[in-house]
A and B are shown apart, each in its own frame.
Chain A
Amino acid sequence: MPDHPSYDVVVIGGGHAGAEAARVAARGGRRVALVTMQREAIGRMSCNPAIGGLAKGHLVKEIDALGGLMAEATDAAGIQFKVLNRSKGPAVQGPRAQCDRDLYAAAVQRLLAAEPLVAVIESIVSRVDFSAGAVTGVALADGSRIEARAVIVTTGTFLRALMHSGETKTVGGRFGEASAEGLSDSLRVAGLSLGRLKTGTPPRILATSVEYSRMEVAPGDAVPRPFSILTDRIELRQVSCWTTYTGAEAHDVIRRNLHRSPMFSGQIKATGPRYCPSIEDKVVRFADKERHLVFVEPEGLEHPWLYLNGVSTSLPPDVQDAVVRSMPGFENAEIARYGYAVEYDFVNPQQLEPSLQARGVEGLFLAGQINGTSGYEEAAAQGLLAGINALQFLRGAEPLVLGRERAYAGVMIDDLVTLGTEEPYRMFTSRAEYRLLLGCDSVYERLTMLARSLGIVDDERLRRVEARLERTAAARLQLEESELTPDRETLAWLEPLGLSITGPTTISRLVARPEFEIDSFFSHCASSGRFSGVAAAFDGLSSEEKEGVVNHARYAGYIEKQEREARSVRDDETLRIPAEFRFERPGLSAEVVEKLRRVQPASLGQAARIPGVTPAAVAVLRMSLRYEQRSANGPGRGAANLP
């Protein structure tokens, strides 16, 4: 086979991670070959037809702020938008969109097709080639080679993939698709050790076989809110979802047939996701729960199937039939595709640097499910960062490592490379210790200018971001500068709003009160003609922007506290551990040394987060690093004169 022209970057896999990696590398001016088994599978949603959710929605917004494509594709394919966790504080609410799965894949393919520097090659990568600790390119199944200095592996569940449905085993990473068999060996050659993980998917139901009147309707938000700053409004027709449940009958069937589930029979040895358990898992672990909620989600506007969110299973087909038909509304349901579990190879991410480059192999980046994560959003965010860092590597520039106080994506990658993972990793807001600094409404402030300095933000996005930041800053300023004094007239004016003040109070302060209600405040302003400046500044804002400004005022005091905390530990993040630093030292136990050597932390802050690295060990590391810095600067600078 003739070899291919050489590229700067090869992306292996066209899933959510691969698509982001390919686009951002191309946006950075590099020639990208995206190698995928099937061109039309690019951007395919393997599992649930939805993007976003708690913490995951944050990732999607961050991707948008960094110039990624997931938010754009979601807006083009979303058929039901809903902000989750509305009963909780704004920082922990998560936007989510039900998508038409065909439209979603089409949108991703369209966005990639618009990038002249991305070439899609339909093939299987059989080998990654290395020379002297650096990537030189890849070999394809037909024997041809692609030369490239950077290779991004985003193979999802396809490495040595095995599907289980009851006792039946089929080789493949997704229904009807193949498995990548050779690549695992290449990763081993690169010095990486691999483990096995498992994930699962629920049965799909023929939509015409279901009795909707027997289920609860679960509508979306009245006004769908787009994910991307590039989207003005959602154009697609919006639809409803439904809810039903599994009850005693289903649970009995499952219990009786547990021995036929590959998870319980021992046929699958890999670890599954604790946070997205199979229905058989739930029945066993929550034995006293009489019902488990099931979300019934359309797979698309015209799609003939429904997705049963909450009934992921690898039980044999006859058991799935019985379980499904026991649910209200599904008495006569026909399963269009049975649920199955997939077992696949993954790379313990502790073997990666915070740039997502494999430690010790220049130019080899890994992103997505291969790193032990679960979920489209987690994969996409890693793909984007891996793509950015491949760019930085080719430019000879410092990698982009987002701090934990900067982005959920930064939290996730730090968690992965520091803690590793033994089960599929899912994003949660609780993983972010500086959660209030990481609201959905601050993504553009936090990330877009950073991305711009790397040359990966398109002009239109930048223009919109700048305009948005200007608008919201003006509104914030108005809130902070408009003051009320407790004279009789003002008190009387406040009374119908259920508000009162005892001293001079800015509107910003007023907003922070739990009893403050923004809409009635502004209609009161309009009818009385007061604070027209504030009202005018708010008039130009979208509902999302308004909420952002209000949330900022509400959290202001706490945001300040978190910023102080973040600053106080930043020293530790900037205290670098040199590559030649020896962890074997008398002050550290063998157990701690082993953990440090496995992760090779880049900074003291990262070292401190490794489980099992004790406070005393951190103190020894800190002092050793300072001591050696001092010694390097010559003796005579006492401990008392620390920097």
Chain B
Amino acid sequence: MSGGPGNDTIVAPATAPGRSAIAVVRIDGADAVSIVEALAKREFEPRRATHTVLGDGDASIDDAVVVVYRAPSSYTGNDLVEISLHGSAYLVGQLLGAVRRRGARLADPGEFTERAVLNGKLDLVQAESIVDLVDARTGLQARLSLRNLTGELSRAGESMRASLLDMISRLEAALDFADEGYEFIGHDEAETALETLLKEVRGTAATWARGHAIQTGLTAVILGLPNAGKSTLLNFLCGTERAIVTPLPGTTRDLLRETVDLGGLPVTFVDTAGLRETGDAIEEIGVGRARDAAAGADLILYLIDATRGMTDDDRMEIARLRDPIVIFTKGDLAPGGEDAISVLSGSGLERLLGRLDEEVRARFAMAEEAPTVVNERQRAAFEACAEALEAALASVGGGAGEEIIVVDLRRAANALGSLTGAISTDDVLREIFGRFCIGK
């Protein structure tokens, strides 16, 4: 048998290329099971991991573990086979070749998940969450993506859309039955309802700050005068000798980056050249880069050598920065430096980490229970909705007719509709599946 569209047989590696302990290859579609049975020269019980030898004619390919899923109880909803073999690019290539010679074709990016949507296994937002989930680098990322996988954000969008549609129908009734003496929605009631809704939509759009931070992480730039201990702190934070540390001022010239998990978020710390006027052309470029990095940073740590105390230069620099976290260093050398940290003695480090953790949570955390926007497409939908609601509110305020207010309310409803794929769109599909790579 051979499958029609959406059920022809496709194959792709599901794990990243390169050496690894095992590699997983997926086969999906009408012939998936018969192909693996031909390669193994045996039958398989569904949903049981079975150790077997796979071969291509007389030549054997590898010892493998095969799991067969029968339609519709599989990820895609089709017959699906997952083969775990040793993680060699050569072996994977041999297996792909053997499967393709038996009629399967190489899957398109995202095609397994696309089939899952086609077969009603996932909705679009859930499919989108799969990419987010696979991309997750911290526990928080994974938790959020998982929540969207269960349809949380779609449901929130749908409920806002439902209240919009209710208001639209009441405004419409006021037009259709103008002469019949019933009031369907008062001016103040409409205004209040719209304001409430706008707040809710804006609130959801604003979760993007967190969602985005969760997806892409934060940048924390370490600044300070030369020899304030910036590189030492970076090395401590990332747990390796990442930066070269010398007693000589001006050792660090270029930006150095390291990412660590802080408050559930991936935070990239950036070590920078010490801030000073210098005649050294290379160092001068480094100082410029430090300032640029600070301009684009989510967090700024400003370090001060406690043995020198805060200088006029420090005051000047701090005044130019946005919300810097000021940290005194070299506490072991400074008399009375109990507020200062010392990487050498370890004093104050626990407190510093606690403080950074708190700062990250305070600045980027919202109630974790609220539905969270985790990608650009979702954010754009809520922003477009908010923009349309604002226009509608302006119309209401300006005493415009119902027929005009409704124009913007419909746009707002459509914007939310695009979230779940109800409205418009090949663009939505392109955006969602464009983020996939082969094998998902």
Contact = CB atoms under 8 A, between A and B. Distances in A.
Interface of A: 54-55, 84-85, 87-89, 91-92, 428-430, 433, 435-436, 514, 555, 558, 561-562, 565, 568-569, 571-572, 585-589, 608, 615-616, 618-620, 622-624, 626-628, 631-632, 635-640, 642-643
Given A54-B176, A639-B109, A565 B414 contact: yes
Interface in B397-440: 398-404, 406-408, 410-411, 414, 417, 420-426, 429-430, 433-434, 436
Contacts of A637: 108
B249 interface: no
The 7 A-B residue pairs with the shortest CB-CB distance in the complex, in nearest-first order: A615-B422, A638-B108, A587-B120, A89-B401, A430-B172, A639-B433, A619-B421
Contacts, number: 157
Interface of B: 4-6, 8, 71-72, 77, 105-106, 108-111, 114, 117-121, 123-124, 158, 169, 172-173, 175-176, 178-179, 398-404, 406-408, 410-411, 414, 417, 420-426, 429-430, 433-434, 436
- The interface centre, meaning the residue of B179, B403, B404, B429 with most chain A CB atoms within 10 A of its CB, is B403
B424 to A, nearest CB: 5
Contact of B426 (A428, A571, A636): A571
Contact of A631 (B5, B109, B172, B411): B5
Contacts of A587: 77, 117-121
B5 A627 contact: yes
16 contacts: A89-B404, A436-B403, A436-B407, A555-B404, A561-B407, A571-B425, A586-B72, A615-B158, A619-B124, A627-B118, A628-B5, A635-B105, A635-B108, A636-B105, A639-B429, A642-B429
A397 B402 CA distance: 41
A568 B417 CA distance: 13
Given A92-B403, A588-B120, A623-B118, 9 more contacts: A89-B404, A561-B411, A585-B6, A615-B417, A616-B420, A635-B108, A638-B111, A639-B429, A640-B430
Q: Looking at B120, B158, B169, B433, which has the most chain A CB atoms within 10 Å of its CB?
A: B120
Given A89-B401, A436-B403, A429 B110 contact: no
Given A616-B123, A638-B433, A430 B175 contact: yes
B425 A562 contact: no
Given A623-B118, A624-B6, A640-B108, A561 B425 contact: no
Given A619-B124, A624-B6, A627-B6, A88 B414 contact: no
Given A435-B403, A565-B414, A643 B426 contact: yes
- Name, among A433, A588, A623, the residue most crowded by chain B CB atoms within 10 Å (CB to CB): A623
Contacts of A87: 178
B370 to A, nearest CB: 22
A558 B407 contact: yes
Contacts of A622: 421, 425-426, 429
A88 to B, nearest CB: 6
A639 B108 contact: yes
B401 A626 contact: no
A585 B422 contact: no
B411 A565 contact: yes
Nearest to A89: B401
A322 to B, nearest CB: 25
Most chain B CB atoms below 10 A, which of A585, A628, A643:
A585
Nearest to B435: A640
Contacts of B176: 54-55, 428-430
A586 B420 contact: no
A587 B425 CA distance: 18
B401 A92 contact: yes
A642 B432 CA distance: 11
Nearest to B171: A430
A433 B410 contact: yes
Contacts of A628: 5-6
Nearest to B417: A615
Given A85-B179, A620-B120, A623-B429, A639 B111 contact: yes
Contact of B119 (A435, A568, A572, A586): A586
Contacts of A632: 5
Contact of B398 (A429, A514, A618): A514
A88 B426 contact: no
B178 A88 contact: yes
A194 B162 CA distance: 34
A272 to B, nearest CB: 18
Contacts of B114: 623, 627, 639
A586 B120 contact: yes
A514 B110 CA distance: 52
A643 B75 CA distance: 26
A84 B177 CA distance: 11
Contacts of A565: 410-411, 414
Contacts of A635: 8, 105, 108
A437 to B, nearest CB: 10
A569 B417 CA distance: 12
Most chain A CB inside 10 Å of its own CB: which residue of B72, B124, B169 = B124
Contacts of B423: 569
B426 A514 contact: no
Contacts of A91: 403
B175 A92 contact: yes
Contacts of B118: 585-587, 620, 623-624, 627
B386 to A, nearest CB: 15
Contact of B175 (A88, A514, A620): A88
B73 to A, nearest CB: 11
A290 to B, nearest CB: 11
A571 B424 CA distance: 8
